[in-house]
Structure 1
Amino acid sequence: MSNINDVARLAQVSKATVSRVLSGSRGVKEDSRQAVLRAAEILNYTPNAIAQSLSSQSTNCIGVICATEHIQQSTGYLQALEKQLKEHRKHLLLRFANDAESVLNAVDELSHGLCDALVVVGARFTLPALDGDVVLIDCLSASTANSVQCDRVFAVETAVHYLCSQQRRHIALVNFSGGDAALQTIDGYRQALHNYVVPFNRQLVIENEPSVRIALQKLVNSGVKFSALLVTNDSQAQEAITMLNQYQLFVPEKVLVFSLDGSTRLPGTNAIPAIEYSLENIARRAVALLLGERHGHESDLVRGSLLLA
Structure 2
Amino acid sequence: MKNVVKMCKATMILYDGRSKMQENKIRCLVHYFRRICSSIPVGFVSFERKVLPLNNCAGYFCCPKANFWINSTIPLCQFRVKDSGLIEDQTFGALEVDFANEYLGGGALHSGCVQEEIRFMINPELITGMLFLPAMADNEAIEIVGAERFSNYTGYAFNFCFAGNHEDKREIDSLGRHKTFITAIDALCSPGMRQYRLEFLLREVNKAFCGFFDQSKYDHYKSQFLESGEDVTDHTDTSRNNLPVHESISDARENYFGRSLTPECLDHKDDIGIATGNWGCGAFGGDPQVKSIIQWLAASQNQSLNSGFILPTSVQKQPYFIYLCSAHP
TM-score bin, normalised by smaller chain = under 0.3
Greater relative contact order structure (CA < 8 Å, 6+ sep): 2
Please identify which structure carries the higher helix content: 1
Per the normalisation by structure 2, the TM-score is 0.24
> TM-score by structure 1 length?
0.25
